[in-house]
Amino acid sequence: MKWVVSVFTVALALGGALLPHGARAQQPDPLISPPEGDVGSRFQIVGQFGWTPGETVTIRLGFTPADPASYSGPYYHERQTTVLRDGTWSFPIVLSDDLFPFPLDGRPGWIVVQAQSPSKTATNAFAYAPGGVRPAGAVGSFGFGPQAASPFALLLLALFAGGGGGLLIALGAARASEARAHA
């Protein structure tokens, strides 16, 4: 039995050691904080890494009631900002009907944010949740929405599940072996 626990512990340690440091703590870029809200909400869009200092970033906003990962336009609102010396940038957005050529009429959806400079393009999404009603696909912290967990957290979850399953199989095999020995 000790060997099962030892193998599980080694697997966890190797998983943590072999993942690149950036994969453990990496946040989506651009980061959107907070990741969801209603009309009147203010959210910050932050380019965190890999942007070229001095370049102009064009921020475009679109809206979709469906999967934001497959959204390809149209983009209705555009703003610009400049990348700072440290390769980051930030821009606030206040969610209002002025951002789109149609009213945000209380149907949940995704505000797709595309940030583009001459050297980089990145996309993320803000969950428009009127009255707290989240759009389809907006799930908890282990989902694939704007609050998705880091790859490291998902790896730990998978290792725990695999280790727990392996432990149950080993216990069952040991009990079956004991039962055959006493029979």
pLDDT band at 114 (very low <50, low <70, confident <90, very high): very high
Q: Are residues 61 and 5 in the same domain?
A: no
> Across all residues in the chain, what is the average pLDDT?
78
pTM (2 decimals)?
0.61
Residues 6+ apart with CB under 8 A from 179: none
Q: Are residues 129 and 105 in the same domain?
A: yes
Predicted pLDDT at 26 = 52
C-alpha distances out from residue 175 to 68, 161, 164, Å? 50, 21, 17
62: containing domain: 27-137
Q: Are residues 123 and 181 in the same domain?
A: no
Domain presence at residue 110: yes
Predicted pLDDT at 104 = 84
C-alpha distances out from residue 11 to 138, 142, 153, 156, 165, Å? 31, 21, 14, 10, 14
Percent of the chain, pLDDT > 90?
Answer: 43
Residue, of 9 and 45, whose pLDDT is higher: 45
Number of domains in the chain: 2
Q: Are residues 64 and 12 in the same domain?
A: no
Q: Are residues 74 and 92 in the same domain?
A: yes
Predicted pLDDT at 181 = 81
Predicted pLDDT at 82 = 96
DSSP 31: E
Predicted pLDDT at 23 = 41
**Domain of residue 128, CATH code:** 2.60.40.230
Tell whether the model's pLDDT for residue 22 goes beyond 80.
no
Q: Are residues 156 and 180 in the same domain?
A: yes
Q: Are residues 118 and 182 in the same domain?
A: no
Domain presence at residue 142: no
93 touches 100 (CB < 8 A) = no
Residue 22, helix vs strand vs coil = helix
Domain presence at residue 37: yes
Tell whether the model's pLDDT for residue 32 goes beyond 60.
yes
Residue 57, helix vs strand vs coil = strand
SS3 for 104-145, per residue? CCCCCEEEEEEEECCCCEEEEEEEECHHHCCCCCCCCCCCCC
Q: Are residues 61 and 103 in the same domain?
A: yes
Tell whether the model's pLDDT for residue 131 goes beyond 70.
yes
Predicted pLDDT at 44 = 95
Domain presence at residue 144: no
Predicted pLDDT at 107 = 87
pLDDT digits (tens, 9 = 90+) for 58-84: 999 999 998 898 999 899 999 999 999
Q: Are residues 12 and 66 in the same domain?
A: no
Percent of the chain, pLDDT > 70?
Answer: 68
